[in-house]
């Protein structure tokens, strides 16, 4: 694959054409990574990263994150494309998540949540999904946590700018591990958004 790309690059160079972007996309993730790593040292041109024919949304997003993410972390790549069999919106979301996870670009809040354990006293999956929707309009690059218990939640998520932790019928809103207030469970999400927007307004 690399040799083929170099052959075509040399053809264009002989024609004095150098305004190009090179793509070596493959559906095999290790092959794709190795090919870009080998080519990166050989040419000065922009590289377009992608795992082609990656598959359906779940598997394709994972394969793309591994392939594209590995190369970006190594400093290789200039543009990316996540190719999925599904809604193109999911391709954009996956691409944005790859970039934001590596700290290369920010597209709004990052949501973190615990995997649940025996201490969880709230319907965490539903709560996390509700928070994700409630903060989707925000554009500031903050970290928001949704935790399953008030005992360990704030401490485990102390790096979060804001967060909530559920309890039995009530929960807490916290910031960097410090409790801001205790509210009924059905007010957790609205109280979280209120605290976030209040801080954003104060800092703007």
Query: What is the per-residue pLDDT across 52-69, written as a single tens digit (0 to 9) for each?
Result: 988 999 999 999 999 999
The pLDDT profile of the chain, 204 residues, written as one tens digit per residue, is 999 999 999 999 999 999 999 999 899 999 999 999 999 999 999 999 999 988 999 999 999 999 999 999 999 999 999 999 999 999 999 999 999 999 999 999 999 998 888 778 788 999 999 999 999 999 999 999 999 888 888 888 999 999 999 888 899 999 999 999 999 999 999 999 999 999 999 887
CATH of the domain at 184: 3.30.413.10
Domain boundary among 101, 132, 166: 101
Is 56 in the same domain as 119? no
Is 162 in the same domain as 190? yes
Domain of residue 74, residue span: 2-101
pTM: 0.84
- Count of structural domains, the chain: 2
- Cα 203 to chain centroid distance, Å, stands at 25
Domain boundary among 46, 73, 101: 101
What are the DSSP calls for 148-186, one per residue? S-TTTHHHHTTTSSEEEEE-SSEEEEEETTEEEEEEEGG
Is 118 in the same domain as 139? yes
pLDDT tens column, 129-152: 999 999 999 999 999 999 988 888
């Amino acid at each position: 694959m690399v040799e083929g790309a170099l052959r075509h690059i040399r053809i264009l160079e002989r024609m004095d054409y150098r305004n190009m972007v090179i793509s070596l996309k493959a559906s095999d993730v290790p092959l794709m990574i190795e090919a870009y790593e080998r080519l990166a040292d050989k040419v000065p041109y922009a590289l377009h990263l992608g795992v082609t024919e990656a598959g359906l949304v779940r598997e394709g997003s994972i394969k793309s994150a591994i392939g594209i993410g590995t190369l970006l972390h190594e400093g290789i790549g200039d543009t990316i494309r996540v190719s999925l069999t599904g809604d193109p919106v999911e391709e954009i979301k996956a691409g944005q998540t790859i970039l934001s996870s590596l700290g290369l670009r920010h597209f709004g809040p990052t949501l973190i949540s615990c995997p649940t354990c025996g201490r969880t006293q709230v319907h965490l999956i539903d709560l996390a999904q509700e928070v994700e929707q409630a903060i989707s309009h925000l554009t500031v690059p903050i970290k928001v946590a949704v935790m399953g218990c008030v005992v360990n939640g704030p401490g485990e998520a102390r790096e979060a700018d804001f967060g909530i932790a559920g309890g039995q019928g009530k929960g807490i809103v916290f910031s960097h591990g410090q409790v801001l207030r205790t509210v009924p469970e059905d007010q957790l999400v609205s109280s979280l958004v209120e605290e976030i927007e209040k801080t954003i307004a104060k800092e703007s």
